[in-house]
Amino acid sequence: MARHQRVVIVGGGVIGLLTAFNLAADVEQVILLERGGVGQESSWAGGGIVSPLYPWRYTPAVTALAHWSQDFYPHLAQRLLATSGLDPEVHTTGLYWLDLDDEAQALAWARQAGRPLSAVDIAAVESHVPVLGGGFSRAVYMKDVANVRNPRLVKSLKAALQAMPNVTVHEQSEVLGFVREGERITGVNTVNGSVLGDAVVLAAGAWSGELLKHLDIELPVEPVKGQMILYKCASDFLSCMVLANGRYAIPRRDGHILIGSTLEHEGFDKIPTQTALESLRASAVALIPALADAEPVAHWAGLRPGSPQGIPYIGPVAGFEGLWLNCGHYRNGLVLAPASCQLFADLLLERTPIIDPAPYAPAGRL
């Protein structure tokens, strides 16, 4: 325990914030450094579906984290509400997948994984979701899928951390490199000076690979741009999440509806484009024709931390004592955060891990 009295976390997205939240009770001091404002990047930009978009297309490594997190999210939301007074709004609506090419594979995966996914008659979907567009012929449904209102989750985590006496959050504090003593990483250099610690945790999302270049470590995490649009409707307008042709509609409790998202390899460019706006509006209207007469109230872009097969890096970096990773969650950062951050805390604090940590270990993957 004594080895990790002071933990420095680089990155203030949901992964960094929740890592800090999970460690705070067991270490002497946690210092979180964020180059901008906490949770303003991928964590803010995503849709917050508490499931991979197509869970059956992922490796068992991603599935293991997803299942643990899905089951834990309601508990996390209650705990954050009690701690911070801010509700992350975990909203269980269920999710319809329409006209899947690999429906048989999806249903076989659900039987094997014990998840409640089933084929449903399209007439039943139309009756449950009256605003749904025509032209769909098949559907599968999972009833317990929730979405979390990610900006509220970020605000709730930030408030919870600010209430903890041994946690310090430094925003506008960009990390420029690492402090190294021989084989050991003992801290980071920031725009505001050096910050030292017994453990340095890199949770910098799409920027993690760039930071590790300072140590000549090749981390295959790169920015993948995603654009989304938002509508405001009546609170009872859309009762359920729907997904077709890779695009989804997500209802919030207050009637906001998110439509997403694009998948673009454009480096660190985050500028929303007219092309994407038109494409997203077309998807919105195909899913929900009534939106043809509505104007989006917002349009934005974010950068996902793309990684091979979407498997995050969680654990210590061999040859660099004191350096740890919790990054590279690609499209599923919000989905996988509770499990990833619990697993990370287990490894750092040398507790029995919640799931087998081997698939996520940086060793052998860098």
Please indicate, yes or no, if residue 76 is contained in any of the structural domains.
no
Handedness of CA 282, 287, 290, 294 (dihedral sign): negative
The pLDDT, as a whole number, for residue 1 is 41
Please check whether residues 229 and 277 belong to one and the same domain: yes
The count of structural domains within the chain is: 2
pLDDT at residue 364, rounded to an integer: 87
Beta strand pairing status for 256-260 and 247-251?
Answer: antiparallel
pLDDT at 3: 57
Q: What is the predicted pLDDT for the residue at 204?
A: 98
**Per-residue model confidence (pLDDT) at position 2:** 42
Looking at the domain assignment, is residue 168 inside a domain?
A: yes
Instruction: Output the pTM of the full model.
Output: 0.96
The domain boundary, picked from 271, 289, 306, lies at 306
Judged by phi (left if over 0) then psi (alpha if -120 to 50, else beta), residue 216 lies in: left
Of 289, 306, 323, the last residue of a domain is 306
- 128: domain CATH number is 3.30.9.10
Q: Are residues 249 and 299 in the same domain?
A: yes
Q: Is residue 163 part of a domain?
A: yes
Examine the domain organization and report whether 139 and 243 are in the same domain. yes
CATH number of the domain residue 23 falls in: 3.50.50.60
Give the residue numbers spanning the domain of 179.
2-48+152-220+308-360
Q: Residue 25 domain-assigned?
A: yes
Q: Which residues of the chain have pLDDT under 70?
A: 1-3
* Residue found under tokens 């030292």: 196
CA 298, 97, 101, 137: dihedral to nearest 10 degrees?
-100
Is 63 contained in some domain? no
Q: Based on the domain organization, do 214 and 262 belong to the same domain?
A: no
- Please check whether residues 236 and 265 belong to one and the same domain: yes
Q: Is 153 exposed, middle or buried (0-12, 13-18, 19+ CB in 10 A)?
A: buried
172 belongs to a structural domain? yes
In a domain, 56, yes or no: no
Q: Are residues 300 and 227 in the same domain?
A: yes
Alpha carbon distance 303, 310 (integer Å):
14
Let me know whether 205 and 318 are in one domain. Answer: yes
